[in-house]
Amino acid sequence: YEYLGSNSDHFAQLILGVFLIDSNKDFEEIHSVYKQRCFSVLYQWKRLPGVHDDGTVDGAYLASWVDGARQLLRAEGGERDYDGQIGQILASSPEGTDGMWPAEAVRDLIESLKNPKMESGLVMGRLNRRGFAAAVVPVVYEGDAQETDLAVRYLAHAREMNTRWPRTAAILRALAKDCEQEAVRQNI
């Protein structure tokens, strides 16, 4: 995983391994196993490229990594747009130095790219992780409290980010809405 974070070409090859379909029937079973392995590696990957051991993010490195992955995916990926998959990797961001998620470098990248598909992928990736720093696991007798607390937190952070990082604030509002809906589902 550390290697994937240091080499966007290999990340791009895993994405292509999951999504590209080879029409050669002789290798259908091999390709199926390969796709499953590629997906498994991507699904298990939880460390944002450019994160240092102290949790800070090298914004220039992250931007370069994303740019490299996008270039290779555009060159070899055909018509498909893979920005959503890159967004899912961005969802592994740690909190920023200000205690808000995602880290400032990710916020800056979101604002500079202005890419709705990447933003949607980030939302999907975050929802799949279900939490700020750890997964939200329903606790008996807590009902919807965890989801409600998370929604309140996302909305508070969205308000603080709205001026400097408006696209990131919109992502946080979308996450808060999903948390609110999950809280309602848990009460049914």
| pLDDT score, position 145 | 76
Check whether 177 has a pLDDT greater than 60: yes
pLDDT in the model for residue 93: 96
The per-residue pLDDT for 81 is 84
Q: Which amino acid is at 127?
A: L
Identify the pLDDT of residue 131: 43
Q: What is the pTM of this model?
A: 0.84
The 8-class DSSP code of residue 178 comes to H
pLDDT score, position 135: 40
pLDDT at position 91, please?
A: 95
The CB density around residue 141, as the number of other CB atoms within 10 Å, is 6
The answer to whether 90 and 106 are in contact (CB under 8 A) is yes
With beta carbons less than 8 A apart as the criterion, state whether 59 and 94 touch. no
Q: Residue 11 and residue 186: Cα distance in Å, rounded?
A: 36
For 7-27, give the DSSP string: -HHHHHHHHHHHH-----GGG
Taking all residues of the chain, what is their mean pLDDT, rounded to a whole number?
86
More confident position, 176 or 135: 176
